[in-house]
Amino acid sequence: MKNHRKERAQAREKAKKLVAQMTLMEKAAQLRYDAAPVERLGVPTYNYWNEALHGVARAGVATMFPQAIGMAAAFDEEAMERVGDIIATEGRAKYNEYSKHDDRDIYKGLTFWSPNVNIFRDPRWGRGHETYGEDPYLTSRLGVRFVEGLQGDGPVMKAAACAKHYAVHSGPEAIRHEFNAECSMKDMWETYLPAFEALVTEADVEAVMGAYNRTNGEPCCGHQYLMEEVLRGKWKFDGHFTSDCWAIKDFHEFHKVTKNARESAALALKRGCDVNCGNTYLHLLGAVEEGLITEEEITTSAERLMTTRYLLGLFEGSEYDKIPYEVVECKEHIEAALDMARKGSVLLKNDGVLPLDKTKLQTIGVIGPNANSRAALIGNYHGTSSRYITVLEGIQDEVGDDVRVLYSEGCQLAKDRAENLAWTQDRISEAVITAEHSDVVILCVGLDETLEGEEGDTGNSDASGDKKDLHLPKVQEELIERVTAVGKPTILVLMAGSAIDLNYAEENCSGILLAWYPGARGGKAVADLLFGKVSPSGKLPVTFYKDLEGMPEFTDYSMKNRTYRYMEGEALYPFGYGLTYGAVRVKEVQVLNAVTGESDIEVQVAVENRGGTDTEDVVQIYIKDMESPLAVRNYNLCAFHRVFLKAGESQTLTLTVPNRAMEVVDEQGNRHIDSKNFKLFVGVSQPDKRSEELTGEKTVEVTVTLE
């Protein structure tokens, strides 16, 4: 299905014939997310709104993968495609049964509003954990493969993916309905658009969702430049466009670019928004009467939507109708989710305390508000699991009766006491006692979807899901200080979806493992890593900053001093960083081809694992333009590959750096190659000084001169 021009042309013809038989009212009723049935034509009701960020969401039981940011940390394209395929398989299985029972409710269709390929440009954004991180190249590669997995490559589309939220969208949540993101054309084409471009032009994504905000003055769901010139013009997008939910009513209520609902409906439709998630399109007929839009414009959108339904085989059946319900949360899918959690967890610090040897331990203290929390496993936009394994349970299962496990919640996630009538921090002395009676402490802190997430969905209503700063809640910071003061070897397990201030933990903990929101059975994956059944191998898809010093205002969309590509200071933990129990390094690098302005760069990389432990690791290549004043301040990730190496093993890999990596973007947003001299940095991290300090390894540098 990757490039299905022929299938699309056939589906479009069928859609035209079908829509031609509909009345104006019937056509208009197809443009709502909850499309009305046309019984006389055999068209059942259909709800376009479904979610699948990290597993089929909000419609009962499904395999739950780690949150998107945790999957991104695996830096694994093949695994992302597999995740997309599993989601589509389970989505089909559920759809097949639901439709047999005539259940065509919300979250039960085959049009999944995933992935979220916005760039996580600011660590305060509450929804950043829904993305694949801060880098446009990594986001593009993972997003493309996720979409390809979801949509499949058969003549019928397995499920329809949707690239969201188009475009220039990453907070603040509290003002997203009236906010205008001002963005230079350079930043737009260098940072905010590449992932959307890749999903449309490479993965043939079936749908695109517009964002709530305005960008450079125009609302994103009615944007002449983004929707007409770029999406359908430059990129030749031929799928359907959907609004974010109730975004079209923002046109007149908050953005004030239209006077009323009719004008808003007309503006969105004219720009090419086919599905209204919301109810503003109830005014389409009134807009036709007023002469604001024509029936033809409604017809075009209805045809696009019916084309999607034909491509999905919803009218004529397909091989996917045979997918049985038994595949939902089957053993193989659960194992794939566990594998993703193991690969995506990032080891940030290890003074030698890890992996734990249970034969040498009598008592383990497991402490912290996220130690036994199911909420910390699941992220947001999640399904339901038939079983959850918290970190505490994972550790208990792993050690069995051989080692005593003591547990204390230590503190609440953010509240200052567990019992309403108690003193503040009423669980902290129990935490200290637990540490005193343990040989080693696993301290589980962090956030969950009640503290970082989407406006309206979270418990921290004062910040609408965004973070005010990089600190953990004060009660947790006090807990870390009190527990580490006991002096036992302490391993911090952080469950969060974004950069957190870990300066104190870096100084005072023996080990730090970032588990993200690892999915329903994530506690088992964490235990597997802590006890060395598997070596950690995840890499940070975002920068963990020391602090917010010098970072622009949250509302400022310029990329100055943001993310590893533009930052001026030193990170606490850099993008691309993550330790293993092995010792993988790049030995030598060779450019295999004569590089020209038209060619890619073929790079041969020899890697070895000098350590005593088998491990996976991620070879990363960064490129720096040595001449052009238009180049990004630092360098760009331009290739990566996950590799498994046994202890002492060497391998030779060939990686391709795409031609586009040599391009720069000018102030007008045009891309071109502007230089003949480039440097490649090849290693298992980026080439910054801090990564060298943390890993003890330097990247290998190679000069590339264009012929």
Report DSSP state, residue 454.
-
Pull the structure tokens for residue 36. Answer: 């009305």
Question: Which of 54, 73, 149 lies closest to 640, judged by CA?
Answer: 73
Instruction: Tell me how far the alpha carbon of residue 88 is from its chain's centroid.
Output: 17
- 135 classed as catalytic: no
Residues 6+ apart with CB under 8 A from 330: 63
Catalytic residue among 77, 449, 452, 528: 452
- Asked if 244 is an active-site residue, the reply is yes
Residue whose pair of structure tokens reads 């509450």 in the numeric block: 126
CA distances from 139 to 172, 255, 410 (A): 21, 29, 37
What span, in angstroms and rounded, lies between the C-alpha atoms of 584 and 398?
A: 27
Q: Where in 329-403 does DSSP place strands (E)?
A: 346-350, 363-367
Say whether 341 sits in a helix, a strand or coil: helix
| Cβ contact 615:535 at 8 Å | yes
CA 241 to CA 221: how far, in whole Å?
9
Q: Which of 135, 187, 244, 688 is catalytic?
A: 244
650 C-beta neighbours (distance < 10 Å), count: 12
Q: Which regions of 6-88 does DSSP assign to beta strands (E)?
A: 34-35, 46-47
- Phi, psi angle pair for 631, to nearest 5°: -65, 155
d(CA 194, CA 253): 31
Within 382-521, where are the H helices? 391-399, 428-436, 474-485, 503-508
CA dihedral 453, 456, 458, 463 (to 10 degrees): 80
Q: Which two tokens stand for residue 374?
A: 């199911």
Task: List active site positions.
Answer: 244, 452
